[in-house]
Chain A
C-alpha cells in the first residue's frame, strides 16, 4: 500500500513539472503566431493609434518573458487573471464551461464505457462469429467517419425527421437535469460512436490474447464454461491495457470535442480555447491548456494506479 502512495506522490510531482512545461510551450506557441490580441480583436478596422492604445491598456507592450513570469507568479497563487479580450475573470469565464464539458464527457462515458466493455467481452466470447464481425465493422465504420458527419447524420435522423431530440444543445446553468440530459443526448451519442471502437477492440484483443495462456487452458480442462473463464479468469488480468485505453478516451472526451461543440452549439471549453487562440488571448489559452494537461496527467495517473491495484504482480515488483 505504501508503495502506491509513494508512486502517487511521485507522479503528482512529475505532473506539476509537466504542467509547467506545457504552459511554457503554449505561451511560446501563441507568441509565435502572427499578429497579437489587439490586431485580432480589431481585425480589418485596426489603425496604428487604436492598436497602440489597446496594447497599452492590456500591458502587451511589455516583453514576452516579463508577461510570462508575471502570469506564472499569479497562477502559483491560484489567480488565473483576467481575459485580455473582454476583461472578465477567467475563473468565472471557465467555470460554467468546464462544468458543461465535464457533464457532456460524463454522459458520453456513462454510455460508452460499459457499452464498449460489454461488446468487447461478447466479441471475445463469440470470436469470429457473425456477431463479432458485424460489431467490428460497425464500430470501425463509426470511428472512421469524421465527427461532424456522424453528428449531422444523427441530427438528420433524430432531430429533423423523427423530432425526438433537439439539434441545439444550448444548456445554461439553470437548465434542469432531465432537460439537460435530453439536450446533450445527441452530442453524447456522437462522442460514444467516436470513442467506442478503440475501447471495444482493446477489450476484445486483451482477452483473446490471454485466452491462449496456460492457466486459461487449465481452467478449460477443469470444465468451466467459456463465459465463466472470461469473466473470472481472463478479465482480471486484462484490466491493465483496458483501463489505459479507457483513460485515454476519457481524456479525449474532455479535450477533443470542439467539433461536436460547434455542430451542436454546446457551450464547452473547446469553443472557448478556439476563440481565444484566434484572438491571441494568451491568459485564457494558458488556463484552458493547463486544465487539459492536468486532465491527461490525472487520468493517466488513475489508469496506472488502477492497473497496478488490479494486478498483484505489478503491486509487488521484484
Chain B
C-alpha cells in the first residue's frame, strides 16, 4: 500500500506522467483507491499553476503568547506555520490518503508493533545540515518523557524503543501494536528539526527542513516565510514567499480580503457568508471535515448513568434545525459518534438518528425518569453559537417532556472549570485523522479526555483489536461496530459537524481537491496554492 501512496505522491509532484502512473498502478492491482487527482471534478482555476509571487493569509488565530516550539502549537496559525517551515515523516494528502514526506517507505511487523521507516536521502535543513535518523530521533524525544508538555506526548510515550539503523533507517518499537502509526507521525507537532552534538533539538529556533524557511516571527502579529531553494522537493511548491497575518476580528478579516490587502483568509462568518459570496472578486472555499460540536454527559453521574436517559436526550435534539440555525447549513448532521467525512472508515450504513420526541418519551418511561430535569452548561468559549444551540435544545427537548435549565458559564477558564467537570455541557472537537486517534483521545475507558467517563467493555476490546489489525476490511467492520456502540450507548450527543470555511481573492489559484482535514487546505495552503496575478 505504501508504494501505491508513493506513486500517488510522485504523480502529484509531477515526477510521473498519468500514463506511467496508470501503468504502475495496474501492477499493484489498483482500482477503487485511485487518487482523486485523476478523476476529480473540473478545476475552478483550470489554468496551470504559476510560479512565483507572495501570498498573504489572514488567520483568525495567533496570539502574542505563541512560540515556535512545535510542542506548543495549539492554534490554526502556528500549526499552518509549522507545516510550512517543517517537514514530517508522513503527510496526509489533499484527498485524505497518507503520503510520504521524509520517510520514503515503511513497513510493519509483529502485529504492527515493530516499524521500519526508510528515510529520504539528501534532505537538507535550513542551516545546511543534512538530515539523518538521529535528527528524527532527537525531534521525537523532544515530545516524550515525564517533563514533556507536548500535545504529541501520547504518541511518543507509546514508543518502547527508538533506534537508528545507519543514517537513513529508523526503527520504532511500540508498547502495543498500532497500524495507524504512519498516520500519527503526520501530526503537526512531530516536526523534524536538526539535532546538535548532544542529540537535542533547538525547538524554538524555527529551523527545519520544510519547503519554506522562517524569515520573521512576530507572535500574534505576523509570520513571514520565504522559499527554501535547497529543499529536496522544491519544484512542487509555487510561491516565492508568504506571510500569515493574525486578524482576530472576523469583520476585519473580511474587510482586508475584500479590499485586497490579504489574498486568503480562514474562518469566515456563516452569518454573512451569503453576502461575501456575492462579491465577484472573492471565492469561498468550503470543505466538510471531522470538526464537530458535542454535548458530553458524565456517565458516572445521575441521571446520565442510565443508557435510556442518554438515548432520550439524543432523540430530543432536532439536528437539522440546529444545523440551519447555528451554522446556517454550513455543515452536516452528526450521529453521536466522532467519525466524520474526512475519516476512512465512516460507517455509512449506520441509520441517521432523527428528532423524535415520542421515542425520547418512550426511553424516559423505560428509565422511569418521566418529567426529567437537567442542567446544561454552556458558553461561547465551547464554540461560537453554543449559547444559541443550548436555547434551541431547550425548546426541542421541551416537546419530549424534558426540562432543560441552561447555565451560562464564563468563557474564561471554560476548558478547565466546566468541561469534564459539569455533568452536561457543550464541547468542540477539531476531529482526528484516524478512527483510533479519535476514539482513544476521548472515548476509551482510560483516556485522559474521556469527558463522558463512558466505560464500555466491548468498545474498549474492539479498540485494541482494531488498532493492531492490518487487514483493512476487518478494521472497517470493527470501526463500524464501535460507531454503532457510541451512537446507541455512548455518553455524548454529537448533533452537528461544522465545515471549514475560508475565502480567497481572484488572484489566488487552488488545486482541484482541497483537503478537508483542517482549515486552509489542510493547513498547507502555502505549499499547495499559487498566485494567478
A contact set with B: CB distance below 8 Å: 33-35, 38-51, 53-54, 56-57, 83, 85-88, 93, 96, 152, 155, 159-160, 163, 166-168, 170, 172, 262-265, 267, 271-272, 275-276, 278-279, 281, 284
Contacts and interface: CB of A to CB of B under 8 A. Distances in A.
Given A47-B448, A86-B67, A170-B222, 10 more contacts: A33-B413, A43-B415, A47-B449, A50-B153, A53-B147, A86-B65, A167-B259, A272-B64, A272-B220, A279-B65
B410 interface: yes
A166 B247 CA distance: 14
Contacts of A263: 249, 251-252
B74 A45 contact: yes
Nearest to B65: A85
Most A-side CB within 10 Å, residue of B410, B412, B419, B428: B412
Contacts of A41: 65, 72, 74
A248 to B, nearest CB: 27
B252 A163 contact: no
B258 interface: yes
Contacts of B410: 34
Contacts of B65: 41, 83, 85-86, 275-276, 279, 281
Nearest to A265: B247
Contact of A167 (B72, B245, B261): B261
A35 B416 CA distance: 6
Interface in B126-165: 146-151, 153
How would you classify the secondary structure of chain B's contact residues: helix, strand, loop or mixed?
A: loop
A271 B255 contact: no
25 contacts: A34-B410, A38-B149, A44-B428, A45-B74, A48-B448, A53-B147, A53-B148, A85-B67, A86-B66, A159-B255, A163-B259, A166-B259, A167-B255, A168-B252, A168-B256, A168-B262, A172-B221, A172-B222, A263-B249, A264-B252, A265-B245, A271-B64, A272-B64, A275-B65, A281-B65
A30 to B, nearest CB: 11
Contact of B249 (A45, A83, A262, A279): A262
B252 A275 contact: no
Contacts of A267: 218, 220-221
B219 interface: yes
A87 B67 contact: yes
B63 interface: yes
Interface in B407-438: 410, 412-413, 415-417, 419, 427-428
B175 interface: no
B221 A170 contact: yes
A96 B416 CA distance: 33
B244 to A, nearest CB: 11
Nearest to A37: B65
Given A53-B148, A275-B65, A279-B65, A42 B256 contact: no
A275 B153 contact: no
B246 interface: yes
Contact of A262 (B248, B256, B449): B248
Contacts of A167: 252, 255-256, 259, 261
Interface in B246-291: 246-249, 251-252, 255-256, 258-259, 261-262
Interface in B187-217: 204, 216
A53 B67 contact: no
Most B-side CB within 10 Å, residue of A53, A152, A163: A53
Contacts of B416: 34-35, 39-40, 46
A86 B428 CA distance: 25
A49 B156 CA distance: 14
Nearest to A156: B255
Shortest Cβ-Cβ A-B pairs, 3 listed: A85-B65, A34-B413, A86-B67
Most A-side CB within 10 Å, residue of B218, B221, B261, B412: B221
Nearest to A174: B216
Nearest to B262: A168
Contacts of A170: 221-222, 245
A43 B417 contact: no
A30 B69 CA distance: 26
Contact of A155 (B148, B204, B218, B255): B255
Interface of B: 63-67, 72, 74, 146-151, 153, 204, 216, 218-222, 245-249, 251-252, 255-256, 258-259, 261-262, 410, 412-413, 415-417, 419, 427-428, 448-449
B64 A276 contact: yes
B52 to A, nearest CB: 23
Given A152-B251, A272-B220, A279-B65, A35 B151 contact: no
Contacts of A87: 67, 204
A39 B413 contact: yes
Nearest to A152: B251
Given A43-B74, A170-B221, A275-B65, A50 B245 contact: no
A50 B448 CA distance: 11
Contact of A160 (B146, B148, B258): B258
Nearest to A100: B221
A281 B67 CA distance: 14
Contacts of A159: 255, 259
Nearest to A155: B255
A150 B475 CA distance: 58
A50 B149 contact: yes
Contact of B220 (A49, A152, A275): A275
A160 B412 CA distance: 34
Nearest to A266: B221
Nearest to A43: B415
Contact of A53 (B74, B149, B256): B149
B261 A46 contact: no
A53 B157 CA distance: 15
Contacts of A39: 413, 415-416
Nearest to A44: B415
Contacts of A275: 63-65, 220
Contacts of A57: 147, 149
A281 to B, nearest CB: 6
A24 to B, nearest CB: 22
A40 B448 CA distance: 17
B74 A265 contact: no
A132 B63 CA distance: 46
A267 B410 CA distance: 27
Contacts of B261: 166-168
A50 B149 CA distance: 4
Given A93-B64, A272-B64, A50 B148 contact: yes
A159 B415 CA distance: 38
A74 to B, nearest CB: 20
A36 B147 CA distance: 18
Contacts of A279: 63, 65
A265 B252 contact: yes
A66 B156 CA distance: 35
A56 B259 CA distance: 47
A193 to B, nearest CB: 18
A35 B219 contact: no
B477 to A, nearest CB: 31
A34 B417 contact: yes
Given A87-B67, A87-B204, A45 B413 contact: no
B219 A265 contact: no
